[in-house]
Each structure stands twice: as structure tokens, then as C-alpha cells.
Amino acid sequence: MPCELCDQVGGVLVARTPLLRVIRAEDAHYPAFYRVIWNAHVAEWTDLPPAHRSHIMQAVAKVETVLRGALRPTKINLASLGNVVPHLHWHVIARFEWDAHFPQPIWGSMQRSVEPPAIERLGVPLAELDAAVAHAVQALDQPAAS
């Protein structure tokens, strides 16, 4: 079975380490929407050995921490779903009271149209946010052993 996260980077590449990568999803409603993608093909988080489970969650925490510090979002949303693309990836999404679906999940029904657009409301240029995410993820400790 071809897998799009094996074949493609899956978004704007922000950081890559030996085990994982972080991409920014290009979602007009959610400009501050990143994904932490395990490089190897595994479907479920618990397919990883415990040291690697912890490692990917440390990467998720790094991204969450950058988004909280830079954007002061109303809430962070984290999710590992993979029903359509069963290759382990964690969604890390900065949510705001004014965003298109709040307080619904981004997969729920739209609550409002957003004007001026979300990208203008963030207050931080995406290049700057990407650089901060990359810096944080590159500082991850690599796991001692698999």
C-alpha cells in the first residue's frame, strides 16, 4: 500500500531529525498548525517502543511550548488520529476563540467566517514561528537506544 507520509514530506518542512520531522500544515483557517511525523512507517503510537513513544511526545511538547509562548492561544489541541493516513503523526494546533471552529474541534462544524483572516490575526510571521519551532525541535535529546 502506498503511503503519502512515506512518499512525501507532508507539508512545509520545518525540522527534521533522524527519527521524526515537523511540518507546518498549510491550512488557511489554522496557520499555526504543525504536525510531528515519525519518519518510519508505523500506524499506532504504541507500535513504537516506550523510548520512542516518549521521544515523539517530547517533540510534541516542544512544538506546543513554542506555540504557547509565541501566540498565547486560547487552547492547544493535540491529536493522533490517522484514520485516512495510518502513518504515525501528531497534530499540534493553536486554537483561538475567534477561529473558524472554536470551541468545536477543527474537524467539527464551522462556527464563523474569520475576517481579517487568521494569518493576519496571529501577530507573528510564520517564518518566525517556523524558525522557533525548528530551533526547539533540533534541541531535542536523541533517545539513548531504540
- Count of residues engaged in binding a copy of itself, rule: CB under 8 A: 31
Give min distance, CB of 116 to a copy of itself, in A. Answer: 22
In the structure grid, which three cell numbers stand for residue 109, read together? 462544524
**What's phi and psi for 47, nearest 5 deg?**
-70, -20
Which of 127, 142, 140 has its CA nearest to residue 62? Answer: 140
Our finding on whether 13 is near a copy of itself (CB under 8 A) is no
Report the C-alpha gap between 56 and 50 in whole angstroms: 10
Report the C-alpha gap between 22 and 89 in whole angstroms: 9
**What's phi and psi for 48, nearest 5 deg?**
-80, 150
Pick the stretch among 25-33, 76-84, 112-120, 134-142 that binds a copy of itself (CB under 8 A).
Answer: 76-84
Our finding on whether 89 is near a copy of itself (CB under 8 A) is no
What string marks each residue from 47 to 66 as x (binds a copy of itself by CB under 8 A) or -? ---x--xx--x---x--xx-
Which residues here bind a copy of itself, judged by CB under 8 A? 43-46, 50, 53-54, 57, 61, 64-65, 68, 74-84, 86, 95, 102-105, 107-108
